[in-house]
Protein backbone atom coordinates (compact mmCIF):
# COMPACT_ATOMS: atom_id res chain seq x y z
CA UNK A 1 0.00 0.00 0.00
CA UNK A 2 1.17 3.53 -0.75
CA UNK A 3 1.36 5.78 2.31
CA UNK A 4 1.28 9.45 1.47
CA UNK A 5 -0.38 12.68 2.46
CA UNK A 6 -4.05 12.35 1.47
CA UNK A 7 -5.05 14.36 -1.58
CA UNK A 8 -8.07 16.60 -1.46
CA UNK A 9 -10.13 14.88 -4.13
CA UNK A 10 -13.36 16.47 -5.21
CA UNK A 11 -16.67 14.61 -5.13
CA UNK A 12 -16.57 14.53 -8.93
CA UNK A 13 -13.08 12.99 -8.96
CA UNK A 14 -14.10 10.36 -6.42
CA UNK A 15 -17.20 9.49 -8.44
CA UNK A 16 -15.10 9.37 -11.63
CA UNK A 17 -12.52 6.89 -10.35
CA UNK A 18 -15.12 4.74 -8.62
CA UNK A 19 -16.91 4.53 -11.96
CA UNK A 20 -13.79 3.02 -13.54
CA UNK A 21 -13.76 -0.03 -11.24
CA UNK A 22 -14.30 -3.36 -13.01
CA UNK A 23 -13.14 -5.66 -10.19
CA UNK A 24 -12.45 -5.40 -6.49
CA UNK A 25 -11.89 -7.77 -3.61
CA UNK A 26 -9.96 -7.72 -0.34
CA UNK A 27 -6.56 -7.84 -2.09
CA UNK A 28 -6.97 -6.33 -5.55
CA UNK A 29 -8.63 -3.45 -7.34
CA UNK A 30 -8.89 -3.25 -11.13
CA UNK A 31 -9.99 -0.28 -13.19
CA UNK A 32 -10.69 0.30 -16.86
CA UNK A 33 -8.32 3.23 -17.45
CA UNK A 34 -9.53 5.62 -20.13
CA UNK A 35 -7.14 6.96 -22.75
CA UNK A 36 -5.71 10.34 -21.76
CA UNK A 37 -5.33 9.58 -18.05
CA UNK A 38 -1.74 9.10 -16.87
CA UNK A 39 -1.04 6.14 -14.62
CA UNK A 40 1.60 8.07 -12.68
CA UNK A 41 3.67 11.24 -13.04
CA UNK A 42 1.15 13.15 -15.10
CA UNK A 43 1.02 16.77 -16.12
CA UNK A 44 0.92 19.65 -13.66
CA UNK A 45 -2.50 20.27 -12.09
CA UNK A 46 -3.90 17.04 -13.55
CA UNK A 47 -4.45 14.15 -11.18
CA UNK A 48 -3.02 10.79 -12.20
CA UNK A 49 -4.75 7.48 -11.65
CA UNK A 50 -2.27 6.76 -8.88
CA UNK A 51 -3.43 9.89 -7.09
CA UNK A 52 -7.11 9.21 -7.77
CA UNK A 53 -6.74 5.85 -6.03
CA UNK A 54 -6.76 7.95 -2.87
CA UNK A 55 -10.54 7.59 -3.14
CA UNK A 56 -10.01 4.04 -1.85
CA UNK A 57 -7.56 4.98 0.93
CA UNK A 58 -7.88 3.43 4.36
CA UNK A 59 -8.20 5.60 7.48
CA UNK A 60 -4.43 5.15 7.94
CA UNK A 61 -3.87 7.02 4.68
CA UNK A 62 -2.63 4.00 2.74
CA UNK A 63 -4.14 3.58 -0.71
CA UNK A 64 -4.00 0.86 -3.38
CA UNK A 65 -0.64 0.57 -5.14
CA UNK A 66 -0.46 0.18 -8.92
CA UNK A 67 0.98 -3.21 -9.89
CA UNK A 68 1.92 -2.08 -13.42
CA UNK A 69 1.45 0.90 -15.74
CA UNK A 70 -0.11 1.79 -19.08
CA UNK A 71 0.92 4.60 -21.41
CA UNK A 72 -1.25 7.70 -21.01
CA UNK A 73 -3.05 7.16 -24.33
CA UNK A 74 -3.54 3.41 -23.85
CA UNK A 75 -6.89 2.33 -22.42
CA UNK A 76 -7.80 -0.81 -20.50
CA UNK A 77 -7.21 -2.99 -17.48
CA UNK A 78 -4.95 -1.57 -14.79
CA UNK A 79 -4.42 -3.51 -11.57
CA UNK A 80 -3.69 -2.19 -8.07
CA UNK A 81 -2.89 -4.09 -4.87
CA UNK A 82 -4.84 -3.23 -1.74
CA UNK A 83 -2.27 -4.67 0.70
CA UNK A 84 1.50 -4.93 0.91
CA UNK A 85 1.45 -8.77 0.72
CA UNK A 86 -0.73 -8.58 -2.41
CA UNK A 87 1.65 -6.08 -4.00
CA UNK A 88 4.64 -8.31 -3.27
CA UNK A 89 2.82 -11.40 -4.58
CA UNK A 90 1.80 -9.73 -7.85
CA UNK A 91 5.29 -8.30 -8.30
CA UNK A 92 6.78 -11.77 -8.05
CA UNK A 93 4.10 -13.18 -10.39
CA UNK A 94 5.01 -10.61 -13.03
CA UNK A 95 8.72 -11.27 -12.65
CA UNK A 96 8.02 -14.98 -13.12
CA UNK A 97 5.86 -14.24 -16.20
CA UNK A 98 2.77 -15.75 -14.59
CA UNK A 99 0.67 -12.73 -15.58
CA UNK A 100 -0.72 -13.02 -19.11
CA UNK A 101 -1.58 -9.71 -20.76
CA UNK A 102 -3.87 -9.40 -23.75
CA UNK A 103 -4.00 -6.22 -25.84
CA UNK A 104 -5.91 -5.14 -28.92
CA UNK A 105 -4.41 -2.78 -31.48
CA UNK A 106 -5.64 -1.25 -34.72
CA UNK A 107 -2.74 -1.37 -37.18
CA UNK A 108 -2.17 -0.69 -40.82
CA UNK A 109 -2.04 -0.72 -43.69
CA UNK A 110 -3.84 -4.07 -43.79
CA UNK A 111 -2.94 -7.20 -41.87
CA UNK A 112 0.57 -8.15 -40.77
CA UNK A 113 2.35 -10.68 -42.97
CA UNK A 114 2.16 -13.37 -41.76
CA UNK A 115 -1.20 -12.77 -40.08
CA UNK A 116 -0.04 -14.55 -36.93
CA UNK A 117 3.42 -14.89 -35.46
CA UNK A 118 6.08 -14.09 -32.91
CA UNK A 119 8.15 -10.91 -32.84
CA UNK A 120 11.51 -11.31 -31.13
CA UNK A 121 13.44 -8.06 -31.38
CA UNK A 122 15.64 -6.55 -28.68
CA UNK A 123 14.86 -2.98 -27.66
CA UNK A 124 17.00 -0.03 -26.65
CA UNK A 125 15.71 2.99 -24.76
CA UNK A 126 17.16 6.38 -25.72
CA UNK A 127 16.64 9.47 -23.57
CA UNK A 128 16.96 12.82 -25.31
CA UNK A 129 16.36 15.58 -22.81
CA UNK A 130 12.98 14.85 -21.23
CA UNK A 131 11.89 12.73 -24.19
CA UNK A 132 12.29 8.94 -24.22
CA UNK A 133 12.10 6.76 -27.30
CA UNK A 134 12.64 3.09 -27.91
CA UNK A 135 14.09 1.41 -30.99
CA UNK A 136 14.89 -2.09 -32.15
CA UNK A 137 18.58 -2.89 -31.79
CA UNK A 138 21.05 -5.74 -32.09
CA UNK A 139 20.68 -8.17 -29.22
CA UNK A 140 24.41 -7.92 -28.58
CA UNK A 141 24.23 -4.24 -27.61
CA UNK A 142 25.28 -3.85 -23.95
CA UNK A 143 22.06 -1.99 -23.10
CA UNK A 144 19.71 -4.11 -25.20
CA UNK A 145 16.62 -5.57 -23.52
CA UNK A 146 15.17 -8.82 -24.84
CA UNK A 147 11.57 -8.36 -25.96
CA UNK A 148 9.03 -10.91 -27.23
CA UNK A 149 5.51 -10.32 -28.52
CA UNK A 150 3.07 -12.87 -29.92
CA UNK A 151 0.33 -11.56 -32.21
CA UNK A 152 -2.60 -12.76 -34.30
CA UNK A 153 -4.91 -10.96 -36.69
CA UNK A 154 -8.57 -10.95 -35.66
CA UNK A 155 -10.05 -9.06 -38.60
CA UNK A 156 -8.59 -7.11 -41.51
CA UNK A 157 -9.15 -5.40 -44.82
CA UNK A 158 -6.91 -3.41 -47.17
CA UNK A 159 -6.99 -0.35 -44.90
CA UNK A 160 -6.31 -1.74 -41.45
CA UNK A 161 -6.41 -4.72 -39.13
CA UNK A 162 -7.33 -5.45 -35.54
CA UNK A 163 -4.66 -7.61 -33.93
CA UNK A 164 -4.51 -9.37 -30.58
CA UNK A 165 -1.20 -9.08 -28.75
CA UNK A 166 0.40 -11.09 -25.96
CA UNK A 167 3.69 -9.58 -24.72
CA UNK A 168 5.93 -12.11 -23.00
CA UNK A 169 8.10 -9.25 -21.72
CA UNK A 170 7.14 -5.82 -20.44
CA UNK A 171 9.49 -3.31 -22.03
CA UNK A 172 8.67 0.35 -22.45
CA UNK A 173 6.67 0.94 -25.67
CA UNK A 174 7.29 -2.71 -26.61
CA UNK A 175 4.07 -3.32 -28.53
CA UNK A 176 4.27 0.00 -30.34
CA UNK A 177 7.86 -0.51 -31.47
CA UNK A 178 7.45 -4.20 -32.34
CA UNK A 179 4.43 -3.52 -34.57
CA UNK A 180 6.22 -0.64 -36.28
CA UNK A 181 9.19 -2.98 -36.76
CA UNK A 182 7.08 -5.41 -38.84
CA UNK A 183 5.63 -2.56 -40.90
CA UNK A 184 2.26 -2.34 -39.16
CA UNK A 185 2.44 0.57 -36.69
CA UNK A 186 -0.51 1.24 -34.42
CA UNK A 187 -2.98 3.78 -35.78
CA UNK A 188 -2.68 7.10 -33.99
CA UNK A 189 0.89 6.44 -32.87
CA UNK A 190 2.62 9.50 -34.31
CA UNK A 191 5.82 8.75 -32.39
CA UNK A 192 6.41 5.42 -34.13
CA UNK A 193 4.92 6.04 -37.55
CA UNK A 194 1.26 5.21 -37.03
CA UNK A 195 -1.29 6.79 -39.38
CA UNK A 196 -3.31 9.71 -38.03
CA UNK A 197 -5.89 9.24 -40.78
CA UNK A 198 -7.10 5.82 -41.98
CA UNK A 199 -9.34 5.50 -45.02
CA UNK A 200 -10.07 9.21 -44.84
CA UNK A 201 -11.13 9.00 -41.21
CA UNK A 202 -9.18 10.77 -38.42
CA UNK A 203 -7.73 8.60 -35.67
CA UNK A 204 -8.52 10.22 -32.31
CA UNK A 205 -5.64 8.73 -30.29
CA UNK A 206 -3.29 5.75 -29.96
CA UNK A 207 -5.51 2.78 -30.82
CA UNK A 208 -4.13 0.39 -28.20
CA UNK A 209 -6.32 -1.25 -25.55
CA UNK A 210 -5.28 -3.49 -22.66
CA UNK A 211 -8.15 -5.93 -22.96
CA UNK A 212 -7.42 -8.49 -20.26
CA UNK A 213 -5.16 -9.73 -17.49
CA UNK A 214 -4.97 -13.37 -16.42
CA UNK A 215 -3.01 -14.26 -13.28
CA UNK A 216 -2.93 -16.35 -10.11
CA UNK A 217 -4.79 -14.49 -7.36
CA UNK A 218 -2.88 -13.53 -4.20
CA UNK A 219 -5.47 -15.43 -2.17
CA UNK A 220 -4.57 -19.05 -2.86
CA UNK A 221 -3.27 -18.66 -6.40
CA UNK A 222 -6.73 -19.11 -7.92
CA UNK A 223 -6.62 -18.49 -11.72
CA UNK A 224 -8.24 -15.10 -12.30
CA UNK A 225 -9.07 -13.17 -15.45
CA UNK A 226 -10.17 -9.53 -15.58
CA UNK A 227 -11.37 -8.02 -18.84
CA UNK A 228 -12.09 -4.43 -19.91
CA UNK A 229 -14.65 -3.78 -22.66
CA UNK A 230 -13.41 -2.29 -25.92
CA UNK A 231 -13.73 1.52 -25.68
CA UNK A 232 -16.32 3.36 -27.72
CA UNK A 233 -13.81 5.29 -29.85
CA UNK A 234 -12.07 2.12 -31.01
CA UNK A 235 -15.39 0.38 -31.68
CA UNK A 236 -16.59 3.36 -33.68
CA UNK A 237 -13.45 3.45 -35.82
CA UNK A 238 -13.61 -0.29 -36.45
CA UNK A 239 -17.21 0.05 -37.60
CA UNK A 240 -16.38 3.04 -39.81
CA UNK A 241 -13.56 1.05 -41.45
CA UNK A 242 -15.82 -1.95 -42.02
CA UNK A 243 -13.91 -4.23 -39.66
CA UNK A 244 -16.25 -6.78 -38.10
CA UNK A 245 -15.21 -8.08 -34.66
Q: Alpha-carbon distance 92 to 15, whole Å?
A: 32
CA distances from 142 to 146, 148, 172 (A): 11, 18, 17
Distance between CA atoms of residues 218 and 90, nearest Å: 7
Of residues 71, 113, 138, 158, which has the active-site annotation?
71
Q: Which residues, including other chains, have CB under 8 Å from residue 167's CB and lie 6 or more apart?
A: 101, 103, 147, 148, 149, 150, 174, 175
For the beta carbon of residue 142, count every other beta carbon within 10 angstroms: 5
Write out the H or E segment, with its range, that includes residue 226: strand 223-227
Q: Is 94 exposed, middle or buried (0-12, 13-18, 19+ CB in 10 A)?
A: middle
Cα 30 from chain centroid?
13
Distance CA 213, CA 157 (A): 28
User: Beta strand pairing status for 28-33 and 75-81?
Assistant: antiparallel
Could you give the CA distance from residue 30 to residue 243 in angstroms, rounded to a whole number? Answer: 29
Our answer to whether residue 71 is catalytic in this structure is: yes
**Angstrom distance (rounded) from CA 230 to CA 208:** 10
CA 245 from centre of chain = 20
Could you list the active site residues? 71
Amino acid sequence: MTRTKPLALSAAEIAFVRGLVIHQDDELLAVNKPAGLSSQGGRIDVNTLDELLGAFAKPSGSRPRLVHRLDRDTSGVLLAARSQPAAAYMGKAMMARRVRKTYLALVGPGAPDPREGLIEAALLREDIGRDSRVRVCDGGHPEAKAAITRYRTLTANDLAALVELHPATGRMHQLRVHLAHIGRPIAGDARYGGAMVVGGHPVPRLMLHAQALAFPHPQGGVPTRIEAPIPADLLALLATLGLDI
